[in-house]
Every structure is written in structure tokens, then in C-alpha cells.
């Protein structure tokens, strides 16, 4: 004989009191109620209500009860497990119908709950976003790109923000980054590998990523290993400005624009705090034999660490070309305090210097930890064995944590 639940008993209770159940079903109900205090209380409550109806002159339940049944339900309350007759099977059809009604009710509630969750999730995905669909460039705190006459210019990363129109939409293929200057000149960089960081199953809607940048007269051959960007030699791009007899030229940009391969504008932003250095001299190709360089950034600004790794050759640091800041500080060897950088600075074998822009005011300032984007490619002028060299140790970029509206230019491109 199959077991029934309290929910099924209560669903069949009215049918039992109306005399609509078979003897087999009544036996099953009696057996369950006899061992279930909760169902006994439910039956007693229902009988009490029926008694009150009779006192008010209400009609009693219609329909004759089968032999041995009590329409009042007293036998249901007073039955014991041993009182039910041995029957071949209960009224399976009636019980199955009750169970189906209960199951359908449960599924309806689950479906409504799932619909509500889906609706709230969809609304949250669409509306909880800092801006409309599109790709956005960072607000630059301090940045410098280097243009050289070489065919192997160092590549750089540029952070960006991507807000898709639907979950899983990939960023569009970038083409070029155009950097315009106040004198009307324009520098061009190939943009590639717009890869995104983090995220799962389309959440959050907005995602941050990095865009590779490299110059050349043809699209670069590039590779990425972790955070390192490698760009193979390409035919050199023409210089942005005439050299004018100077070993290098540094200028601040007026605006930046990211385009697609066909020229359509993807994003734009201010060029404030972005400087471009054009080196008019050949770069030193043996710098890594004498100096090791590591780069990073903190709330006070970007920094890099130089260490003389040669066995017996001193390296003299003659000039450090960085974006203009309030001051440039240096921490020598393992000292705990920084001092203003005084040049020239000689590093003996094994000695190190941490150089950083500790600007408290000016274009590179970062008061109160204001989150900004840093893209730094330093140009170092060094002297080794009496010869002067121009060396670019690499490039570093980062976007410090903080509100997205402070870190990215969320205005639509013009």
C-alpha cells in the first residue's frame, strides 16, 4: 500500500467529508491520520467548522456515505492503524490527481520565481552600468609614449573599458590610435589585441581590458605572454616632427582617438597628461647587459627601479626623460627615504636606484589617491665607458582602482 503525505490528506479531506471517496481511500486516510498529530488537528478543525455551520442552519454535506463511513469525519479522527481493512489497493486515480494538482502548483510557483529572478537579473545587467554601450578610453594621470627611428619600437598597453550591448559581445576590432597635438601634427599607433580581464557568464556588464599599441608602417607582428607585450620589428614609421638638430623632442598631446580598421571612430578622449617623446638618435641595443629595470605604480605615481648588473662597469645616469611633474624622487640602494633626483647619478656594479614621480601638484598630481591611468615608457640617457647612449628599458601601464567615472572618459566620441 503506498504512503501518502499530509498535503495529499488535506487535499482529499473535503472529498472524504462529502462521501466522494472509495472505501480503499478512506482506509488509507484513516491509517495516516491515526499516526499523524498534525492531520488529526486539521480534521478536528474542519469538523468544528462543520458543526458551527449546522448550528447556523447550513446544509449538511450531501451524498450518502458508503457503509461504515462517517460523513462527520469522526471515524477519521478516531481510527487506529489496525482498524483499516485489508484492501487490494487504494483509490490510486484520486490520489494521483491530488498529487498532480500539488505538483502543478509547485511548478507554477517555481516558474514565477525563476521569471522574477530572470527579470531582475536582466534589468540589473542592463541598467547597472556606468555608461551606454561602447568602448571608452582612460582618463590619463600621467603617460608617455616613445617614438624612435628604429624598426623595433617598444610596444605599450593602454587600458580601456568595454560596455557590450548584450551578454558575451566581444569588443570591436581596433585599428589605430591617433594622437593629435596643438600644432596640428598627428602621431599614429597600430592598436591590437583588445583582450578583456575577469568576468563570468557576461557579468558584470562592463569589463576592463588592455589594448596593445605599436608604431610602424605596417601592422605589427606581436605576441603576449602574461603582462608582457612583444612586438617584432616592422618597417619604421616616419617621424612626427622634424628633429631640429635635437636628440629628442617631447610634446603634450591635445586629444586621442581610437578608430576601427576602416577609419570609424570607436572612442575618444583628452590628451592631457599624455606626452610623446620622439628620439632622433639610434637607441642603445646593449642596455640589458648593464642595467635591469622593473616598473610599477602607486598612489603617488609611476616608478621604475634600475640596477647595475654588470660585473665591473659603472653606469652614469645623465638624464631621465619623463612627463613633467612636480618633482622626481629617487631612493638609492636599500634606503628607506627618498630624495630629489640629482643628475648625473652614477651606479656602481650591484647598486640600484628607484626613480618615481612624486608630484604633489601639477599635471601629474594625484591628490587624495585620485585613481588614474599610468602609461610610462621612460627614455634614459646614460654614459658607459665615456660614450653617451639613449635607452628605452620598456613600457608599463596600469589603471588604479576606483570609481569608473573617475578612471575613464565616459563621454561619447565627437
pLDDT tens string 297-351: 776 778 889 999 999 999 999 999 988 876 788 899 878 788 889 999 999 999 9
- The model carries a pTM of 0.66
Which residue has better confidence, 223 or 374?
A: 374
Q: Is the pLDDT of residue 367 over 50?
A: no
DSSP 203: B
Q: What percent of the chain has pLDDT over 70?
A: 72
Average the pLDDT over 171-197 and give the result: 88
Q: What is the pLDDT of residue 64?
A: 41
Rounded Cα–Cα distance for residues 321 and 89 (Å): 94
Rounding to the nearest 10 degrees, give the CA dihedral for residues 71, 77, 82, 85: 20
Residues 259 and 175 sit within 8 Å (Cβ to Cβ)? yes
Query: pLDDT band for position 262 (50/70/90)?
Result: confident
pLDDT tens string 5-50: 888 887 787 777 777 778 888 888 888 888 888 888 888 887 777 7
Which residue has better confidence, 51 or 63?
A: 51
Q: Which residues contact 59 (CB under 8 A, 6 or more apart)?
A: none
CA 132 to chain centre: 16
Average the pLDDT over 278-295 and give the result: 92
Query: pLDDT band for position 278 (50/70/90)?
Result: very high
Q: What is the pLDDT of residue 185?
A: 94
Which DSSP helix (H) or strand (E) runs through 207?
Answer: strand 207-214
Query: pLDDT band for position 279 (50/70/90)?
Result: very high
What integer best gives the mean pLDDT of the chain? 77
Distances (CA, A) of 162 to 39, 123, 365, 375: 59, 19, 27, 19
Which DSSP helix (H) or strand (E) runs through 308?
Answer: strand 301-308
Q: What is the pLDDT of residue 364?
A: 39
Q: What percent of the chain has pLDDT over 90?
A: 23
Q: What is the pLDDT of residue 306?
A: 94
Average the pLDDT over 56-71 and give the result: 45
Q: What is the pLDDT of residue 329?
A: 86
Query: pLDDT band for position 76 (50/70/90)?
Result: low
pLDDT tens string 143-174: 899 988 775 566 788 889 888 888 778 888 89
Average the pLDDT over 263-278 and give the result: 89
CA proximity to 374, closest of 407, 398, 408, 395: 398
User: CB neighbours (10 Å) of residue 315?
Assistant: 26
Rounded Cα–Cα distance for residues 304 and 396 (Å): 9
Which residue has better confidence, 65 or 353?
A: 353
Q: What is the pLDDT of residue 68?
A: 40
Average the pLDDT over 130-148 and give the result: 86
Q: Is the pLDDT of residue 369 over 70?
A: no
Average the pLDDT over 65-86 and give the result: 44
Amino acid at each position: 500500500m503506498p504512503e501518502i503525505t499530509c498535503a495529499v490528506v488535506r487535499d482529499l479531506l473535503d472529498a472524504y467529508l462529502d462521501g466522494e471517496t472509495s472505501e480503499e481511500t478512506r482506509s488509507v486516510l484513516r491509517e495516516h491520520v491515526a499516526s499523524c498529530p498534525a492531520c488529526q488537528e486539521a480534521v478536528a478543525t474542519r469538523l468544528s467548522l462543520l458543526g458551527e455551520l449546522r448550528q447556523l442552519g447550513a446544509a449538511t454535506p450531501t451524498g450518502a456515505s458508503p457503509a461504515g463511513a462517517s460523513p462527520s469525519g469522526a471515524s477519521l479522527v478516531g481510527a487506529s492503524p489496525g482498524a483499516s481493512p485489508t484492501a487490494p489497493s487504494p483509490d490510486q486515480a484520486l490520489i494521483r490527481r491530488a498529487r498532480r494538482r500539488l505538483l502543478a502548483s509547485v511548478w507554477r510557483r517555481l516558474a514565477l520565481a525563476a521569471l522574477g529572478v530572470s527579470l531582475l537579473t536582466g534589468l540589473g545587467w542592463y541598467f547597472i552600468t556606468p555608461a551606454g554601450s561602447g568602448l571608452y578610453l582612460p582618463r590619463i594621470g600621467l603617460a608617455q609614449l616613445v617614438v624612435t627611428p628604429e624598426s623595433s619600437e617598444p610596444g605599450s598597453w593602454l587600458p580601456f573599458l568595454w560596455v557590450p550591448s548584450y551578454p558575451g559581445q566581444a569588443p570591436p576590432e581596433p585599428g589605430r590610435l591617433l594622437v593629435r597635438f596643438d600644432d596640428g601634427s598627428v602621431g599614429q599607433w597600430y592598436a591590437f589585441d583588445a583582450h578583456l580581464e575577469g568576468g563570468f557568464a557576461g557579468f558584470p556588464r562592463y569589463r576592463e581590458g588592455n589594448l596593445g599599441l605599436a608604431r610602424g608602417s605596417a601592422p605589427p607582428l606581436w605576441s603576449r605572454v602574461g603582462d608582457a607585450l612583444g612586438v617584432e620589428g616592422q618597417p619604421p614609421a616616419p617621424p612626427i616632427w622634424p628633429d631640429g638638430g635635437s636628440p629628442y623632442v617631447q610634446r603634450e598631446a591635445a586629444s586621442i582617438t581610437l578608430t576601427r580598421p576602416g577609419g570609424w571612430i570607436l572612442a575618444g578622449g583628452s590628451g592631457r597628461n599624455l606626452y610623446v617623446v620622439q628620439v632622433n638618435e639610434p637607441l642603445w641595443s646593449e642596455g640589458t647587459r648593464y642595467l635591469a629595470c622593473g616598473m610599477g605604480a602607486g598612489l603617488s605615481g609611476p616608478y621604475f627601479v634600475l640596477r647595475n648588473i654588470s660585473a665591473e662597469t659603472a653606469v652614469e645616469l645623465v638624464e631621465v626623460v619623463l612627463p613633467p611633474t612636480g618633482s622626481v624622487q629617487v631612493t638609492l640602494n636599500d634606503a628607506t627615504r627618498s630624495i630629489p633626483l640629482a643628475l648625473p647619478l652614477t651606479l656602481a656594479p650591484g647598486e640600484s636606484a628607484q626613480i618615481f614621480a612624486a608630484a604633489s601638484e601639477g599635471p601629474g598630481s594625484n591628490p587624495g589617491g585620485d585613481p588614474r591611468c599610468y602609461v610610462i615608457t621612460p627614455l634614459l640617457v646614460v654614459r658607459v665607458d665615456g660614450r653617451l647612449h639613449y635607452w628605452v628599458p620598456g613600457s608599463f601601464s596600469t589603471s588604479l582602482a576606483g570609481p569608473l567615472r573617475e578612471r575613464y572618459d565616459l563621454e561619447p566620441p565627437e
